[in-house]
Every structure is written in C-alpha cells, then in structure tokens.
Amino acid sequence: MLGKFIVFEGIDGAGKTTQLDLLGRELENRGYPVVYTREPGGTRVGELIREILLNPLYGELAPRAEAFLYAAARAQLVAQVIIPALEAGKIVLCDRFVDSSLAYQGFGRGMDILMLEQINRPAIAGLVPDLVLLLDFCCDDAIDRLSRSGRGADRIEQEQQEFYRRVRLGYLSLAGREPGRYNIIDANRPVDLVLCDILKAVGEVLNEVTERNNRA
C-alpha cells in the first residue's frame, strides 16, 4: 500500500482522540494528506452499529454479539475508508482498531483471544497497522477524567474499575508480543509532552513516505 496506517489505542479517558487530532493537524501543516477515522464508526453503517454498541439502552447485548458487531463495523471501515485511502497514498489516523477488541472483549470480558482473532480475520482483510501508538494511562485517573467530562457514561464506560485494569494490562501484553510495531506512550503527562513522544514515534514511519515521494 502507498499510504501509512497509524492506530491509536488505550483505555477510555487516555486522551487518544485529543492526540490524534493534534498529530493530524501537525501532519497536515507539514503537507501530508491525512484521513481521520474512528472505531466503532467512521462510516454510515459503522456509526449505526456504534449506536447499538454504546447505548446503555442495549444492556442485554451478549458478549459474542458485541464482538461480531465490532468486527462488522470494522469490516465496513476497512473496505470503505481505510483501504481506499491507503491505496491513494494517504496517512490514515484511526482511533482504535482490532487491538481494542482483543483488549476489551478478550482481556476485559475474558473471551477467547484466538476466537476473537478468527472473527476479525475476514474483517481486517490482511490489513496490519504500520504503527500502533498505545497511550498507557493509569486506570484511576481515567475514571476520574470520565466522570469530570460531564457527559453520562456510555455502555462500555459503565464497566467496573477492575475491567479497565484488565484492559490496560491486556494492551501491554499485546504490545509485548510485537514490540517493533507498538509504541507505548506514557499518557499520564501534559498533552504537549505526550504529543512530543508521538511525533518522535511517527517520525520513522513518515521518513519512509518522504523518501518514497522524493524518489517519485
């Protein structure tokens, strides 16, 4: 693929969305074509699925049905947005990807990781992020931040603190499996320091794009 696929991961409240927007603006200022997207969602169909997944009204959602819905939204996003953007040479910044399912449904809910990987295989169609930025954030601070945000908790955020601890450790264990592709960023710091580390991590990936463009 011509473009680059950069994914932000981390527990709710870690600051992914803020950092994704800041990184995107910085890249645009440097002249890179950027596509911003998110999971679940990012497409018309995906946003409808997001509503089912996050609305506390649907508390009866069974864990396996939840896992399939995340995978379905992902399949739509990959086909409709991510692959076409990468083929057009764009930099895709995605707020969450398949690791969210492994961390939340797998480590958080205790579903079998291999089964989740199987469910997701057709959804991601072989697509692997060039870089995963894991914003590692202390669970207690995350819960504080969510309660201070003033909006009501969504269905997933209503989970217990212990759930978020498992998710966080799950992420760290996933990152440990493939240290080359993950960059763990300490997100318990001011926004500008976190961004600085993100820019460093993204630098290598971007150098490849610049060199390729210079050769073209």
Kindly list the residues in this chain that would bind ligand TMP in the complex (CB under 6 A).
12, 38-40, 70, 96, 100-101, 104-105, 156-157
Nearer to ligand TMP, 140 or 204 (CB): 140
CB of 197 to ligand TMP, least distance (A): 20
Nearer to ligand TMP, 13 or 32 (CB): 13
Minimum gap (Å) between residue 151 Cβ and ligand TMP: 11
Nearest to 167 by CA among 198, 143, 149, 199: 143
Q: ω before 40 within 30° of 0 (cis)?
A: yes
Q: Which is nearer to ligand TMP, 49 or 209 (CB)?
A: 49
Instruction: Write out 121-179 in H/E/C secondary structure.
Output: HHHHCCCCCCEEEEEECCHHHHHHHHHHCCCCCCCCCCCCHHHHHHHHHHHHHHHHHCC
Q: How many CA atoms lie within 13 A of 17 on its CB side?
A: 5
As measured in angstroms, the least distance from the Cβ of 74 to ligand TMP is: 7
The first and second tokens of residue 25, run together, are: 């603006």
Give whichever of 32 and 163 is closer to ligand TMP, judged by the CB atom: 163
By beta-carbon proximity to ligand TMP, the closer residue of 43 and 105 is 105
CB-nearer residue toward ligand TMP: 26 or 154: 154
In the three-class reduction of DSSP (H, G, I as helix; E, B as strand; rest coil), residue 11 is classed as coil
Q: Measured from the CB of residue 188, what is the shortest distance to ligand TMP in angstroms?
A: 18
Q: Are 108 and 63 in contact (CB under 8 A)?
A: no
Minimum gap (Å) between residue 191 Cβ and ligand TMP: 17
At 87, list the tokens: 């083929």
On whether the CB atoms of residues 178 and 126 are closer than 8 A, the answer is no
Q: Which residue is nearest to ligand TMP (CB)?
A: 104
Short-list 10, 19, 115, 136, CA closest to 68: 115
Q: What is the smallest separation between the CB atom of 54 and ligand TMP, expressed in angstroms? A: 6
